[in-house]
Structure 1
Amino acid sequence: MKARYYVYGTAAPKIPYQPQREESQKVIKIPKRKTEVKPEQRSVPLGQIIFCILIGFAICFTLIFRFSALTELNCELAAQKQRLEQLRDENRKLQAKIGSQINLENVRRIAEEKLGMKMPDNYQRIPVKVPKVNYSLVTGTIQEKEEKTLKSLITAYFAK
């Protein structure tokens, strides 16, 4: 039998055609069960979601309120600094005006005639060392203006 299928040379014999039978398969449809559509149960209750959203809005509102308060304070601080510079300029101008208008001869004459003073002699003069830095202490208290902010309202509420 082996000799029958052995091929001499390089030419291979043609294999006889044998059609294969294709079996037709019937597709059987299995009826699917219809399930009732039920609403899904939420893992987080609606009340908690609304509460978290309200907390988020409260935090955002607090942040916006604080930023607006800071902006208002910065504007007030800038206005106070500008007012301070104006007062310093006015003070310098007044000091220069007073310094130029004081006549030392008139001061000496008024001191001798009206106040009864006299010029000291050389042995009566005592040299005094005066520091160039001059400052004064204010012992009065500054009243703070009452603000209607959330912080002051809360502290006033809990202070009662």
Structure 2
Amino acid sequence: MAAKRYDRNGNTYRGSSYYTYGNVAYDVQPEYTPYYTEEDEDRTRIAQEKAHKAEVRESRITALKLIAIIVVLFAGSIAFMGMHVRVANENVELRREKSELADLKSNNAILAAELTEQIDLDYIKEQATNRLGMAEPQPYQVVYIDVPKQSYTIQYASDATEAEKDSGFLSFSNR
């Protein structure tokens, strides 16, 4: 076994082929330079290919997720627009039905007024006494009852088509 060699600073001499003067670090060279075999190169190449394939797979998965999100958003917006169109059509139908109801109510009121105008109480009294043999009741046969006015009077609300207006988003979107 060879004796250890020391430099002038007292450090162990590592076997480099030249001596350095001053306080510069030694150029350390290993005693042997390892060489890479084909197996090592194949391992690194296969590892790089696997890493590249993993990156490609990850990018494809990310792209598919993005496409799925876009498709879901598109389908949701189509469904939202469809529902909005449906609501708008129902509102148009509702307005048409309300106007038809208002026309029918006014027509009924006109017919009721005509009916009350055509009733002739003198003609009815004459027909009842002459043709049917009826007579007016005697005072002791008349019984008066106190009936509250609301119990026999039908009260209709005022025309709701004019008073009832859309509010909120629908009124804004229908203009």
Tell me which interval the TM-score lies in, with the shorter structure as reference length: 0.5 to 0.7
Q: Distance in 1 between matches of 2:78 and 2:134?
A: 72
Gap runs ≥5 in structure 1: 1-37, 136-160
Match of 2:93 among 27, 51, 76: 76
Q: Secondary structure at the residue paired with 1:45? A: helix
Tell which has more relative contact order, 1 or 2 (C-alpha 8 A, sep 6+).
Answer: 2
Q: Secondary structure at the residue paired with 2:149? A: coil
TM-score, normalization: structure 2?
Answer: 0.48
Match of 2:117 among 90, 100, 103: 100
User: In structure 2, what is the equivalent of residue 149 of structure 1?
Assistant: none
TM-score, normalization: structure 1?
Answer: 0.52
Q: Distance in 2 between matches of 1:78 and 1:108?
A: 47
Matching of residue 122 in structure 1 with residue 139 in structure 2: yes
How big is the shift at 1:104? 0.3
Q: Secondary structure at the residue paired with 1:128? A: coil
Write out aligned runs for 1:9-158 (5 A): 41=56, 42=59, 44-133=61-150, 134-135=153-154
Greater than 6 Å deviation, 4+ residue runs: none
Q: Distance in 2 between matches of 1:131 and 1:75?
A: 41
Gap runs ≥5 in structure 2: 1-51, 155-175
Q: How large is the Cα RMSD of the aligned pairs?
A: 2.4
